[in-house]
Structure 1
Amino acid sequence: MTVSEVLNRPSFRPHALVASVLALAASSVLASGTPELNRWYVMESKTSAVALIDGRLQNDFHRHIYGDGLLAEDSQARLTLDGRSAEARNSVAAGRIGSFSGAFQALDPDATISLAHGYSMISFSAFLSNAAPVTLDLHLTGSLQTLGDRAATGVDPSRAVVAAYGLGSPSDVNEGGYQRLFANIGIDPNLEGEALLNQLAHWPTTAQRNLQTVGVQTNSLNRSAEVDQHFSVTADSTRYDCPAGVVSPLCGSYYLQFHLFLFTAAENGGVADFSHSLAIDAIRVAEGTSLSFDPGQALPVITTPVPEPGRAALLGLGLLAIGGLKWRRSMRKQER
């Protein structure tokens, strides 16, 4: 069995994850029942784990979609053979996702492939009363190591990889906004097999308003890396107008989504430990926005003050006065 065949198995399709993100719309949520206004819900969660040594394979996959508030089960896969082991573990919680991959390879340049990889993801959705953006403060921590003594190039390199992103719905979500965000950083969400693995292994670290990505890898030349990175991602609202004849409290509300994704991989002596690692530190909302999370899934919600019109006007007048004072002083100096 080739690496390409493993990657195309149903248990590991992160490109399908991105494709599902592009296809999700308010109607898919409404089909499962009417959610409350101003409350975040877990829309979907997945975990996937794959372990491979030579031709032996073990995989585990779990998924839960919008409904009763449950989350996907942890996924685990582990193999041992001839002094080598490959293990992947992935987990998901309301405010955190984790992924671990380890391929503990004997120091033998002629040994064949050992590989572990997996991912965790979670999506949130909400219908809000006001057209206000929402921001997630995220924190990614973990470590990468390459323990083997194999070449860093060739068909079977030693390496450890982490790829992560936080994605918030853009204002042009209905006009291909998600596709544009990934296209801006040169990512193709439709890749499969070894091309997909190579893209994840060279995942960029970039920053856009609605999409933040982090990508790090080690190999037998650069053997270790510690990741401790804070970043934020914003979801912008899209007005939800009900079809003709439909009466719902959601008509005229504003729909937002967040998607968090964490992938790790390890080959031939690599270890990527991000077991509890992509966490939501806080949800930031504009003052006057009412927002709560699914019952039992407590997350910190921080209100960001918006300047009152009166204060904003006074501030503007104050800046004008300062500017006028500086101008008058400069004119006096010129007259002298």
Structure 2
Amino acid sequence: MGADSNESLNSLSVFLTGIPGLEAQHGWISILFFTMYIVAIVGNSLIMAAVQADPALHEPMYLFLSMLAITEVGVSVSTVPTVLGILWFDARRVDFDGCLAQMFFIHTFSCMESGVLLAMSYDRFVAIYNPLRYTAILTLPRIICMGLGITLKSMALMAPLPVLLRQLPYCHINILSHSYCLHSDLIQLPCGDTKLNSILGLAIVLATFGLDSLLIVVSYVLILYTVLGIASGEGRWKVLNTCASHICAVLIYYVPMIGVSVMHRAAKHASPMVHTVMSSIYLFVPPVLNPIIYSVKTRPVRQGIVTLFSCRRELL
């Protein structure tokens, strides 16, 4: 890229439309998003604090749950402040490099969340298939290595996206029909050839979300096969019940993602508001619901949070 092109990129900005068609309701919508943001941050922070404080929760399942909470805080912090800036202060203009940075963090944390959900499915498989060696297989060093591997893989896969987008020429008004920056929208802005970007984006989706979801399905097929070998019907239900929270988390994460993908391909002419709402559900709902689900469905987590508040009250 030449000096003039670099100079123009440095002064380039992106205009975010927010939620088109609902401008008159921005005040009410901001209350919903702010509430979801607070619930996501507080709920996931409580999960992390409870697991860290309660020795009874220092088991593989709950360590993976802490990783999931970290990724969901990351997704929320990467997106919601920008949305609230538009709804409250009409701050629609974003520096191009800032937009690329936001895109990188949103997709990186989303990829990490998918990887953690896969690790959690492996955790459930080991716990059911080989319960006697559960803690021997999933040792703390191995869990740490899995977490670092998920993080490094996600960052390495997403790093080329902003670099490649920055090499392309931009020669028209850069408007995104969203409240934040996503690769699927940014790739529509350049007036140069984006074939390489499209191929890379598709390859990343298949190598992460596609492969992760396939392996999660395989792990649950193996879990069901193992459970069917249990003679007692009550025993089968008890074993499957340990997977209930994870199954809910997987559905909450992947169903909206599939919906967004279908919308982008099969309903391109749908209202921009529909696309925006679907993407918002995909990004904002899992961080809100997962802490609630795990707190309600998992007694040790619920007890850990209660203990955490009890300890704080005694200190006061």
Query: For the superposition of Structure 1 and Structure 2, which TM-score range results when normalised by the shorter chain?
Result: under 0.3
Normalised TM-score (structure 2)? 0.27
TM-score under structure 1 normalisation? 0.26
Structure scoring higher RCO (CA < 8 A, sep ≥ 6) equals 2
Higher helix share: 2
State the structure with more CA Rg.
1
- By percentage of residues, which structure has more strand? 1
